A and B are shown apart, each in its own frame.
Chain A
Amino acid sequence: MNSQERRVVITGLALHTAAGTSLEAHASSWWEGHSHFSTIDSYSTEGTSVRFAAQCPTPDLSRLPDKKVRKILTKKDLISLVTTIAAAEHAGVTAGTVDPERFGMYVGAGSTQIGDLTPYFELVKSCVSDGVFDSARFGRDLLSLVNPMAVLTTLMNNGLCFGAISLDIRGVNGNFMDFQVSGLRAVGEAFRALTAGRADIVIAGGVASPVEPFHVGSGVRIGYLARTGDDGVAAEQVVRPYDLTREGTILGEGAAYLVLEEETHARSRGAPILGRIHGYGQAADGAFTFMQETHAPGLVRAMRQALDDAGESAENLGMIVGHGNGVRGADQAEASALVELLGKSVGRVPVTSPKGVLGELSEPAGVVSIALALDALGRRSVPPTFNYRQGDAVTAQLALSDAPQELNGTLAAVTARSFLGLASCLVVSLA
């Protein structure tokens, strides 16, 4: 088939976040405002500024056939694996039902955290004397005190590895480490691989489990995370995307995967067609201030690329799912970019963000936003941006609301931005 004629459809979708594992549970969140923040349970938050996160339960291990594998995988990897398998099941794909060499996988993964090094902690502490680290003692005791499998738990491509093994995926693959844009970037690269004829079917998405003490402490320090200590503010009101009073975000954890497929391949096997991808773009700002910047030129270019790719103009967008995570500078920068992109259409194209109820999921955030977009397009309505009451001078120019809005058309632009100034955008529609 001529690669120029290859069209890409979405045939599977699976989510695993604090909201649950079904699309219905997530829809309940973004339509009805059911938030899922809870007290951090992986360490004591006593005396810290952040008590809440959107945590998801550790998956049911009985779904994993290989007991040895269960021992290697961290919570992040487990979430990734069960969500990958669920996405494939949703698309009606199991190992052996598609050509493995034409079956690919792209993942946007969260990085290994300091907390993932816990197997070494006691040994490291025991090797410090008078403030001096004794590496000779560390080496001598290493093999007797640390589990040899510990290193495998820290591999950052475990989600890709075990997804590929479970589903016999032998084709194109990659594991993107681009902070909050990683998941959307994985979907974008899958789209490119399919249109270019390098694969017929690709699983793509993101996973992150960043709720660990060092990451959270750093996030507070740089002004990225909202302080959710004993200030009396209810957790469900903390993340206020684009709102005048926004003060930061709350971390979430989870995974989101799509099955993307070349259209004739999907139709020939009778797969459900959930949506269609029309275009993709990515770009960088070349500058950063940990989401305290006020402009996002990279986002403008990424969105223009995606729209050009789709052969569409911004005014025809039915809706935009923004990154909108409630960080003061980031939301302003994003809004500024959308104002520039939309021009005179700025008040007409509705914008929404689910992070008021789901928090900042980081790597999988953009993929969850695709799920929201498909759900919204199906209902012909745009879900509310919860906790948005009144915008600032820039965000107020956007068509934002804490109530449902009417769609402006049949296409949705889904965006993601990282706190190092990277941006990605996908243009999607229903089938």
Chain B
Amino acid sequence: MKDATGATPKKRRVVITGIGAVTPLGNDRETTWRRVLAGESGAAPVMQFDATTWSTTFACEVRNYKRPKDAVLPDHATLLNKPSDFGTAACYEAMLDSGVHGAVDPARFGISFGCGIGAVSPKQLARMLRGIERVPGLGDLSRRVEASGETNVTIQNHPGTLAFLMSARWNAVGPVSTIHTACASSGQSVGLAFLQIQRGEADVMLAGGADSIAGELLMAGFCLLGALSRRNHDPEGASRPFDKDRDGFVASEGAAMLVLEEREHALARGAHIYGEVAGYGETESAYRITDLPPDGRGTVQAMQQAIADAGLVPSDIGYVNAHGTSTELNDRIESLAIRRVFGDHCRNLLVSSTKSEVGHLISAAGALEFVFCALAIRDGLIPPTRNLESTNCDSGLDYVPRVKRERQVKAALSNSIGFGGSNSSLIVARH
């Protein structure tokens, strides 16, 4: 994109000036972070519905959530589904944290979210299907919707709706986008926001993700796939990335949002800066819909791209927040990929998976884990991998088992690896 003089601008630097989070460990950034550092677990028997007969009976659920009063425009509240609701609160916290509201040209202010479908609840679905006998002959459903006006379900459960609602709430009328690449969604959405500021398309971007797979239909889907841990006797011990006894991930929900800002714009208004978004890598594994290639090629390539994009070398990275899902395949191959990228530097590298504390937020995972990277740099503290007793990943990596580690790092990298093969790697550097 060319500037007013017709020249393509120099690479613009991007910093983080606001962070918000709603997670199973807390409905704000600092509570979540304190509990992650303490190695606490958000997993417990499912509260939102009776899951006692399910193959998996527990999840990481957001508790005691209450949307801030002004988080969404009053007329738009009926368009929220559960994850979008979490997203509004995370945006609210991030925006207030940054102080950028009213301090940016609306046309230079954009949105980039990674969101899941949220899914209609089976109760809602059952209500819609009530009295309809000809399944899947569903013309009656169309007629009923016409007559009843239950029209918001389509908008509520579209991944793109939250971005629009936040565009309206915060008067962000620059580039507005939503990405869905499964577990890589919000890693990619933060990456896109970074690129858009770098390219000169915006000065400020509200970026992140929101999702919930702790509801019936989506949790059912992952139960069917056999992807969820069945450690029903020990929910808090279920998410155990890299541990030899891992048996699947833990369904979770929540949102994480960041305010990304062009560095000079942030400095000019005296904003607090958490760190600099230094590099981004985005790749496809092009292998199988749910499996990683045995050599971890897409993950390797994403990390290498991000490091090169940041103008760094592998030894500059002090901490990797791994995708680390607690599934057999992901953890083994991601470990191999990290080993391939960092080589001998692995002796000094700290690697942990915060999914051990918060579970798998799917579309929101990448943004939340990038937030943890930024906070790790801020505080000089590396979050632990809870439940890691003994690894079989055979990588020689230091996974920061069970207890947080004090370490000042220059730069931290966050990996996201999605169903469908999309990968992202994001680097935050000390500013």
Contact B138 A213 (CB under 8 A): yes
A155 CB contact (under 8 Å) in B130, B153, B420? B420
Cβ-based interface call for B275 (8 A): no
Query: Contacts A105-B284, A120-B125, A125-B129: A284 and B141 contacting too (C-beta < 8 A)?
Result: no
Interface string of A140-165 (1 = CB under 8 A from B): 10110011111110111110111011
Q: How far is the CA of A409 from the CA of B190 in the complex (A)?
A: 39
B176 CB contact (under 8 Å) in A117, A172, A311, A422? A422
Q: How far is the CA of A41 from the CA of B171 in the complex (A)?
A: 42
Cβ-based interface call for B396 (8 A): no
Cβ-based interface call for B380 (8 A): no
Interface-lining segment among B1-9, B241-249, B261-269: B1-9
Kindly name the residue among B142, B221, B284, B421 whose own CB sees the greatest number of chain A CB atoms within 10 A: B142
Q: Kindly list chain B residues whose C-beta atoms are within 8 Å of the C-beta of A216.
A: 142
Q: Which residues, 117 to 153 on A, are CB-close (under 8 Å) to B?
A: 117-118, 120-122, 124-125, 127-128, 131, 133-140, 142-143, 146-152
Q: Which residues, 196 to 212 on B, are CB-close (under 8 Å) to A?
A: 199, 201
Closest to A154 in B: B221
Closest to B52 in A: A136
Contact B107 A173 (CB under 8 A): no
Q: Kindly list chain A residues whose C-beta atoms are within 8 Å of the C-beta of B315.
A: none
CB distance from B2 to the nearest CB of A (A): 6
Q: Which residues, 378 to 431 on B, are CB-close (under 8 Å) to A?
A: 418-422
Closest to B288 in A: A165
Q: Kindly list chain B residues whose C-beta atoms are within 8 Å of the C-beta of A121.
A: 125, 129, 135-136
Total residues of chain B contacting the partner, CB 8 A: 94
Q: Kindly list chain A residues whose C-beta atoms are within 8 Å of the C-beta of B6.
A: 311
Q: How far is the CA of A213 from the CA of B49 in the complex (A)?
A: 28
Contact A43 B144 (CB under 8 A): no
Query: Contacts A136-B53, A150-B224, A221-B151: A101 and B283 contacting too (C-beta < 8 A)?
Result: yes
Kindly name the residue among A3, A49, A161, A172 whose own CB sees the greatest number of chain B CB atoms within 10 A: A161
Contact B286 A100 (CB under 8 A): yes
Q: Which residues, 213 to 234 on A, are CB-close (under 8 Å) to B?
A: 213-218, 220-222
Closest to A113 in B: B154
CB distance from A409 to the nearest CB of B (A): 20
Q: How far is the CA of A23 from the CA of B221 in the complex (A)?
A: 39
Interface-lining segment among A239-247, A266-274, A301-309, A383-391: A301-309
Cβ-based interface call for A30 (8 A): no
Q: Kindly list chain B residues whose C-beta atoms are within 8 Å of the C-beta of A118.
A: 135-136
Q: Kindly list chain A residues whose C-beta atoms are within 8 Å of the C-beta of B199.
A: 192, 196
Interface-lining segment among A9-17, A175-183, A350-358: A175-183
Q: Kindly list chain A residues whose C-beta atoms are within 8 Å of the C-beta of B117.
A: 111-112, 154, 156
A45 CB contact (under 8 Å) in B139, B283, B418? B139
Q: Kindly list chain A residues whose C-beta atoms are within 8 Å of the C-beta of B297.
A: 170
Query: Contacts A138-B220, A170-B301, A298-B173: A124 and B179 contacting too (C-beta < 8 A)?
Result: no
Q: Kindly list chain A residues whose C-beta atoms are within 8 Å of the C-beta of B143.
A: 47-48, 217
Closest to A112 in B: B117
Contact B177 A125 (CB under 8 A): no
Contact B141 A213 (CB under 8 A): yes
Contact B421 A165 (CB under 8 A): yes
Q: How far is the CA of A156 from the CA of B266 in the complex (A)?
A: 36
Q: Kindly list chain B residues whose C-beta atoms are within 8 Å of the C-beta of A114.
A: 120, 125, 128, 141, 153-154
Closest to B120 in A: A114
Contact B149 A221 (CB under 8 A): yes
Q: How far is the CA of A175 from the CA of B187 in the complex (A)?
A: 13
Contact A151 B225 (CB under 8 A): yes
Q: Kindly list chain B residues whose C-beta atoms are within 8 Å of the C-beta of A165.
A: 286-289, 421
Q: How far is the CA of A142 from the CA of B285 in the complex (A)?
A: 31
B142 CB contact (under 8 Å) in A43, A196, A305? A43
Q: Kindly list chain A residues whose C-beta atoms are within 8 Å of the C-beta of B129.
A: 121, 124-125
Total residues of chain A contacting the partner, CB 8 A: 103
A48 CB contact (under 8 Å) in B137, B146, B175? B146
Interface-lining segment among A285-293, A333-341, A396-404: A285-293
Q: Kindly list chain A residues whose C-beta atoms are within 8 Å of the C-beta of B106.
A: 286
Query: Contacts A124-B125, A214-B141: A192 and B195 contacting too (C-beta < 8 A)?
Result: yes
Contact A174 B146 (CB under 8 A): no
Q: Kindly list chain B residues whose C-beta atoms are within 8 Å of the C-beta of A221.
A: 145-146, 149, 151
Query: Contacts A133-B122, A214-B128, A284-B174: A178 and B188 contacting too (C-beta < 8 A)?
Result: no
Kindly name the residue among B129, B177, B222 whose own CB sees the greatest number of chain A CB atoms within 10 A: B177
Q: Kindly list chain A residues whose C-beta atoms are within 8 Å of the C-beta of B226.
A: 148
Cβ-based interface call for A342 (8 A): no
Query: Contacts A142-B54, A170-B298, A282-B175: A122 and B142 contacting too (C-beta < 8 A)?
Result: no
Contact A125 B421 (CB under 8 A): no
Q: How far is the CA of A176 from the CA of B175 in the complex (A)?
A: 13
Contact B177 A176 (CB under 8 A): yes
Q: Which residues, 291 to 330 on B, are CB-close (under 8 Å) to A?
A: 297-298, 301
Q: Kindly list chain B residues whose C-beta atoms are within 8 Å of the C-beta of A168.
A: 286
Q: How far is the CA of A301 from the CA of B172 in the complex (A)?
A: 13
Contact B138 A115 (CB under 8 A): yes
Q: How far is the CA of A149 from the CA of B290 in the complex (A)?
A: 11
Contact A135 B49 (CB under 8 A): yes
Closest to A135 in B: B49
Cβ-based interface call for A169 (8 A): yes
Q: How far is the CA of A176 from the CA of B188 in the complex (A)?
A: 11
Cβ-based interface call for A346 (8 A): no
Cβ-based interface call for A62 (8 A): no
Closest to B4 in A: A308
Q: Which residues, 76 to 116 on A, are CB-close (under 8 Å) to B?
A: 100-101, 104-105, 109, 111-112, 114-115
Contact B146 A217 (CB under 8 A): yes
Interface string of A165-202 (1 = CB under 8 A from B): 10111111111111100000100010010001010000
Q: A156-B117, A284-B164 are in contact. List 10 more A-B contacts (CB 8 A).
A: A43-B142, A111-B159, A154-B117, A165-B286, A170-B283, A179-B158, A213-B140, A286-B168, A420-B160, A422-B176
Q: Return the 5 tightest CB-CB contacts between A and B, nearest first.
A: A217-B145, A151-B221, A139-B54, A161-B420, A213-B142
Q: List 19 A-B contacts (CB under 8 A).
A: A43-B142, A44-B140, A45-B142, A100-B286, A124-B129, A128-B126, A148-B225, A151-B222, A151-B224, A152-B290, A157-B182, A173-B284, A174-B179, A177-B180, A179-B160, A196-B199, A214-B154, A221-B146, A284-B176
